[in-house]
Amino acid sequence: MGNSLGFGHAACFAVAFDGVRRAHRKGSSAETCSLCSLVVPANLTEAVYTALAEADCIPRRWHPEGRDGISIQEMSEKRRLVPLLAGAHNRLPSLVSALLSEGRAQLLWQPSQPPPKPSKSRSSPTPAPRTVPRGVQNVECLSPKASSFTFAELFAGIGGFRLGLESVGGRCVFASEIEPFTRELYTLNFGHTPEVVGDIRMIQDSEIPSHDMLVGGFPCQPFSALGAQPGLGDPGGDGWLFRQVVRVLQVSKSPLFLLENVPGLAQCDDGRALQTIKRELSEAGGGYDVFLKTVNARHMTAQSRKRIFFLGFRRDVSDVARKKKGSEGSEGFEMLALVDLQLRAQEIFETEEDLEAKGLLEHLTISKEQFRKLQDCKKWSRRGGMTDTLAWGDKVCSTLVAHYGTSISRGTSQLVPRPAPHLPRRFSPRECARLMGFPEWFELSQLAEGESPAWLRAHYKMFGNSVCPPIVAALAGDMLDHAQLPWCSDPAWGRLGRSAALRLALHSLPATSRQKLLQVLHASWADSSK
């Protein structure tokens, strides 16, 4: 129960019990200027605590205020002081009401203390003062090279690759995405240049323009550790859609390609699926040097998100010096170290007021039935459960997945703790965008009246399936540093990629979090708040 002994003692009995009880019966406004606690017999503390908890009169372990337990004070050898939530004296359980009527318990007001401010503005404690992340003073603010190279994207989703590549000066000349709702959001943010086409299998080779880099996150469901991992077992299944990438490479002979997938791909079919994909990519067109990098987005976002990237260089533009053996998994490709911004969940939360103003707070908060099932699941009860299933403000969030919010009762959808006595809630779509590193100016689709559940599911799916733009920017900069092409001979590409990644990460944060981080960055970022 989080007992804390030795605070207050008899001095806290400044208000006579009879006067307090009369004020309670008459509905006095004392609560508006005082803190209220309950004094109970020591031998009844556990029973009273249980009754108060069931009546939502005290914070629980899934509330920010009760995460470490509540402070039950020892008033004397036979008395304990239990602090109550604001307004809780109006909904006291029958056990407590009976004890009050019998004179065995007391409501104690403490007028000497100022009233607590409502904790609705945040779902977690205020962020601690910013420390300087390691290496951040070495990242200068550099301007992108406008239209320096062209790129085409397959399985474009909502444009995570496009955001990352445009931030380093890329220009999109072709985009394909099969999902209509996803295409609409892509077009809402990037316009009709180029027009986003549908199923890549229906697109003729002649319709794909020449480009310098081919990018895409080919469907990951067949390789995800969250599913059955059919991999390449079904010749007509999604697992073989990577061959559309191979087809485009055969025709375009793009100098570079950058592809993304889930880390489960490495284990699928005992690694044979990964080797098949890598082999076919390396044999496409005139032949490619293909390198694999596993990157965790937690350095640039508030989310732990590991993904495998395929970095392809057409052999005639490949830097042969790069072929020497390097660290495990990188096969010799040297990548500049990512700056760890040390972002945490509290820096991406929307305020309760903002969510209420948008009409989302009620729809995001889980129901009592959902919460009851969550408490019964193994993941919640294991190691206290709340460590993994709740997005505490001072922690890095779990990986956002496409089916987020649909499996709450199994504990696989991380939830945001709300102030007591409210139940936890799902992430909002804007918080999902921030977790993925999408800038604040990235627009969401309009919420139509009565369509909240479908609207939320659609956005969870789109962001869960997306790629983190800051990671794309950093990887693209590294690739351009190593490519032997006339238009990418500038040795500053790697530094530009880091600068672009940092800029995207900064602008994926709300203004308050962004301003605090700007204060500890390299001096060249001083005027980069807009």
Which residues of the chain have a pLDDT value below 70?
Answer: 1-34, 111-132, 134, 220-239, 320-332, 382-385, 489-491, 529-530
Quick check: is 41 in a domain?
yes
The Cα-based distances of 117 to 33, 113, 121 in angstroms read 11, 12, 10
pLDDT value at position 3?
A: 42
For residues 191 and 105, state if they share a domain.
no
For residues 79 and 151, state if they share a domain.
no
Quick check: is 206 in a domain?
yes
For residues 153 and 301, state if they share a domain.
yes
CATH number of the domain bearing residue 282: 3.40.50.150
Quick check: is 266 in a domain?
yes
Domain boundary among 76, 110, 144: 110
Rounded Cα distance, 52 and 42, in Å: 15
pLDDT 10s digits, 12-30:
333 333 333 443 444 444 4
Total domains, the chain: 2
Quick check: is 509 in a domain?
no
For residues 43 and 143, state if they share a domain.
no
For residues 285 and 157, state if they share a domain.
yes
Quick check: is 525 in a domain?
no
pLDDT 10s digits, 258-292:
999 999 888 877 788 899 999 999 999 889 999 99
For residues 438 and 464, is the Cβ–Cβ distance under 8 A?
no
Which residue segment(s) compose the domain that 65 sits in?
A: 9-110
pLDDT value at position 530?
A: 54
For residues 67 and 2, is the Cβ–Cβ distance under 8 A?
no
pLDDT value at position 254?
A: 95
Q: Which of 382, 340, 309 is nearest to 502 (CA)?
A: 340
pLDDT value at position 285?
A: 85
For residues 289 and 233, state if they share a domain.
yes
For residues 201 and 334, state if they share a domain.
yes
For residues 178 and 304, state if they share a domain.
yes
Provide the sign of the torsion angle of the four alpha carbons 274, 276, 281, 286, taken in this order. Answer: positive
Quick check: is 512 in a domain?
no
* Single pTM value for the model: 0.86
Rounded Cα distance, 485 and 438, in Å: 30
* Tokens standing for residue 412: 């696989």
For residues 280 and 147, state if they share a domain.
yes
pLDDT value at position 26?
A: 40
Quick check: is 408 in a domain?
no
CATH number of the domain bearing residue 96: 3.30.70
Contacts of 441-446 with CB under 8 Å at 24 or more apart are 441/507, 442/163, 442/189, 443/185, 443/188, 443/189, 444/185, 445/181, 445/184, 445/185, 445/188
For residues 236 and 334, state if they share a domain.
yes
pLDDT value at position 8?
A: 33
For residues 32 and 166, state if they share a domain.
no
For residues 195 and 282, state if they share a domain.
yes
pLDDT value at position 431?
A: 98
Question: Which residues belong to the active site?
Answer: 220
pLDDT 10s digits, 122-144:
444 455 556 667 677 788 999 88
Quick check: is 404 in a domain?
no
